[in-house]
Structure 1
Amino acid sequence: MFIHLGGEKIIRASELIAIFDISIEKSSKISKQFLNHAVKERQVEVIGEEECKSLVVTKSTVYYSPISSTTLKKRAHHLLV
């Protein structure tokens, strides 16, 4: 099964680790450290040119998605149930 993250980006549901609202980027010291490390390791991908609303963490990449975390969680839930 696959999850559409926005733009032309689709991932396998089995690769999904977590979906977060973009606000976590600024609200937690640990999340800042995690994202800084991902940037240094070139494991970050911004989807499209629209404003990012969520972070999607997979086994190999962190995606900045223009789709809300609520919508992405619903999509993932439908696939995993």
Structure 2
Amino acid sequence: MFIHIGDDHVIRSSDVVAIIDHSLVSSSSIIEEMIFNQRKNKQVVEAEENSAKAIVITNDFIYFSPLSVYTLKKRANMMSTLNKLEDFSEETE
């Protein structure tokens, strides 16, 4: 399944490694270093107008999302719930 993370970016939910609150970046030198290195490799997708509230880390890229961690978590859980539902639609022959 896919998750819309804002700014017209849609990512595969299975690629998500972590979703981190943007305010925590400055408190961790490891996260700052990781973002710095990924920026050098051009693997960071910045949010428009410095409006980032969350950082979504995937296997290949780091995305700065204007959506909150809570909103992204709800979207990810909604997709998980939808995957578990059984299909009761009528079959057409």
Give the aligned partner of residue 52 of structure 1. 52
TM normalised by structure 1 equals: 0.90
Q: 8 Å contact 1:18–1:57 — kept in the other structure?
A: yes
Highest RCO, 1 vs 2 (Cα 8 Å, sep ≥ 6): 1
Give the greater-gyration-radius structure (CA).
Answer: 2
Matching of residues 1-81 of structure 1 within 5 Å: 1-49=1-49, 51-81=51-81
Partner amino acid for 1:42?
A: K
Gap runs ≥5 in structure 1: none
Q: 8 Å contact 1:6–1:48 — kept in the other structure?
A: no
Gap runs ≥5 in structure 2: 82-93
1:6-26 Cα distance to aligned partner (Å, 9 max, x none): 021101111111101001210
* Displacement over 3 Å in runs of 4+: 47-50
**What CA RMSD, in Å, does the superposition of the two structures yield over aligned residues?**
1.3
Give the aligned partner of residue 87 of structure 2. none
Which structure shows the higher helix fraction? Answer: 2
1:9-61 Cα distance to aligned partner (Å, 9 max, x none): 10111111110100121011111111111111111001333611000001100
Q: 8 Å contact 1:9–1:47 — kept in the other structure?
A: no
